[in-house]
Structures are given as structure tokens and as C-alpha cells.
Amino acid sequence: MIRLFDLSLKLNGFPIKKAKAELDKIIAIPEENYNDFVEKRKKEIVEFHLKHNDFYKELANIDLYRNWSDLPVLTKRNLQTSLKKRLSVGFSPKNVFINKTSGSSGNPMVFAKDKFSHAITWADYKRRFSWYRIDFNSSFQARFYGMSLTFLANKKLRFKDFLSRRYRFNIFDLSDKGLEKITSQFQKKKFDYINGYTSNIVLLAKYLKKNNKVLVEICPSLKVCVVTSEMLFEEDRILLEKQLGVPVVNEYGSSEIGIIALENTDGEWLVNSETLFIEILDENNRPVPLGKEGKIVVTSLDNKAHPFIRYEVGDYGILDEKSTSKKPILKKLIGRTNDIAILPSGKKAPGMTFYSITKKLFEDDGNVKEFIIKQTQIDVFKIEYTSETELTSSEIKKIEKEFSNYLEPNLQYNFVRKEMLKRSKSGKLKQFKSYL
């Protein structure tokens, strides 16, 4: 078989063979030497950008690298300036990989990676997916991601998907009719795995449950489902594994950084320590102890074209107490830093708190399919939902009582039933938003 995926990377100038060889060398480094190895690479990438990147040198405000803690923590706002200005000497838009973030955090950004950095990101993706007998050159992917619906952009994306052995579904129509079309494709095509946004695949699972179907019985070639980009709740995992009939794997990554963590076959959310350095910091940018919550800050150890050094991805998380330098484990992903509700008492509640409570209450009978929570005023929350039948006043009272117990009393809730919820341009469902 022609190794189309590797060939397409090679033809585009991404040295996948060299990247794989380098990754293999990194993996072979023993645990006792790994911390020194990481410290050396951190120093090298900082010194490279201080020497070859005026933009980063100005941001860092230092001439010489001495202490890691002296370096600034970067946010998307720091990087929202002309890409040409941010590129290191020797790199231009013509010889780098350029892409942009989805903008789901509210701050879209164009970014760049040098060709080796992009190749080693893919080499690591390939290695991690191979844990589940997935080979990007031969395995066929059922893809639940957004796409452009304009003719030319859509054709271009379809061709890229063809080279990458994947079939992309239209996730902008997840009505019963749309989900019926999706299910019929699983009868026709021999998919090896599912990859995509959590909320879309959960909707498919709910449709399958309602119609008393298990996907692996329709498509016996299916091996695994990898969900990404949105929170995976335990009850959703149970539903997915039951209705899909295959293991469900949690991925955490970002378009500008690549894969940050992927669950291994032991159920550990294994952080990428081969191409990245991950920190969990408090609000004063100081490291927190293992097992404590903080903001996730990432350094790309290979990207020479563009500085992603101590870059705040916009999420909160916890590293497991048993993490080591070579094997850091993500214990919990808490959600985005900008998804926090401030209550009248001054109390702060992560948006996911609302989502978790409401989800448990809604899931009892399967009537409510999806919902979004919006804070419109300090004491007013709007809950938009799709359902087969409208929520009754007694159901609404039960939900309001639960919120009062968990958060604080005297908050107002407006429940609005919708035919369809508004997704972002990328197709993600932003589950909580504060308009304050």
C-alpha cells in the first residue's frame, strides 16, 4: 500500500523520517537522565529565540538566559500581531507551516511552525495513536470536525482528507435526519476509528441509544473513538462506550501546540514530554505542587520558527502526584480560564460547574439533547436547550433548587428551548459563556 499520509508530509517538505528518528532517540532516554535532558532543551530553545527572534527578545526583556522563572508567561494577546514580525530570522511565510487557532477562546490567532517541528508533532501523533492499532497511512478515520461549506474550500479539504485517510461528516446538521445519514455511512464504509469533537459524537451516541443500535455492530471494523477539543464527562464516556461499542480515548491538544496529552491503554492521561514542557502555575505564575490546580502553560521545545515559550493555552488543569519528568500525567482538565461565572456574593464558579450539575439533572430521561448556559447579568443565567419535549415547570424548579444549593440562592434562570444550538464556525459547542 502507498503510504499516502507519510508521502503527503514528505512532498510538503516536512521531514517525517528524520522527525521519527529524533523522537525514537528521545523516548530511549532513561528516566534518571530525563530531567537534565529537558533542562538542556529548554535552555537551547530560549537561547535560540533570544538570538534569532527580535520579537521574543523584546517580550522577554533580557539579553541572556539565566533563570526559567525570569521568562514571561505569554498569552494569545501577546502574540496577536503580524506573523512576519513574530518569525525568527531565516523563516518566512514561504518556508514554514502556517495555521490559525479556532477562536473558540475568543482570541483567534495565526501561528507558524518550522517544518521539522511540524513533522515531529505528527510523528508523536502517529506513535500515540498506534497504541490503539491505528496507522495514519492505512487506518480509515470517521472525522467529526468542522469544515468550510464554500465549494472551493470544501473540495480542497476533501482532497486533504483523502490523502489523510479520513471521511469528514457534516457536523452542522445533527438533527435525527442528519444523524441517520451519518449512521448509514458507517454501514457503507470500513472505518477503523472515530476522531472529533466530544459533543457531536455524544449526540450520535444518543441517537443510537434512542434507536437501539450499537455502532460496532453496524461497522465491525471500528476499533476506537478519540474525542477532543471539548470536555469529556464520565457519564458521556459510559454512554459513548456502550453505544459505540469501542473504547473511548480522551485527547487534549491545541492547534498551535499539537497534542498535549492522550490517554494510554492503562487509562492514564499521558502528557507529551517528548516535544513539550508543561507547567501548572498559580495566578502569580509560580509552579504549584503536583496534585494542585493551576493554569496550563506550555513550551514547544522544537519550534524555532515561532516562540511558544511559557505559553498559556487558556485552560486549568492538575498534574497527577505520581508524575515524573519523563512521564507527566494529567489528572484532570478543569476548563478554560475565561469560562468563569462571578456571582453576586463575589464567589467565582467555573462554567463547567453549571454544566456538570445541569447535565446530571437533564440526563435522567434523555429528553434534553444539548444545552448552553449563558450569564447575561450578575444574577441572571440563560439556559438554551434542545429537547424532544419542553421542560415542565416542576423539572425547572428541580434544576433551580440544585443550583441554589450548589452555588447561592436568589439567582434567576431563564430556560429557552431551541430547534438547534448555535455552534462556533469550527463546529465546537461552547458550553458556557459569560457576557459580563
pLDDT per position as a tens digit, 260-273: 999 999 999 999 99
Looking only at the bridges linking them, the beta strands covering 340-342 and 330-336 are unpaired
Same domain flag for 292 and 410: no
Last residue of a domain, one of 314, 336, 358: 336
Which pLDDT score is estimated for 155?
Answer: 87
Same domain flag for 95 and 119: yes
Same domain flag for 318 and 360: no
Same domain flag for 371 and 228: no
Same domain flag for 346 and 311: no
- What's the DSSP call for residue 436? -
Same domain flag for 292 and 393: no
Find the domain containing 58 and state its range: 4-336
- What are the tens digits of pLDDT across the range 225-254? 999 987 888 889 999 999 999 999 999 998
Same domain flag for 265 and 384: no
CA–CA separation, 422 and 97 (whole Å): 31
Last residue of a domain, one of 336, 366, 396: 336
With contact defined as beta carbons under 8 Å apart, do 263 and 250 qualify?
Answer: yes
Same domain flag for 227 and 295: yes
Please state, in angstroms and as integers, the Cα–Cα distance from residue 71 to each residue in 133, 186, 270, 337, 412, following that order. Answer: 40, 50, 26, 21, 44
| Count: domains in the chain | 2
- Low-confidence residues in the chain, pLDDT < 50: 105-106
Same domain flag for 294 and 403: no
Same domain flag for 320 and 417: no
Which pLDDT score is estimated for 350?
Answer: 65
Same domain flag for 361 and 329: no
CA atoms within 13 A on the CB side of 431: 23
Last residue of a domain, one of 336, 358, 386: 336
- pTM, full prediction: 0.82
Same domain flag for 310 and 239: yes
Q: How far is CA 207 from the centre of its chain?
A: 24
**Which CATH number do you get for residue 34?**
3.40.50.12780
**Which CATH number do you get for residue 403?**
3.30.300.30
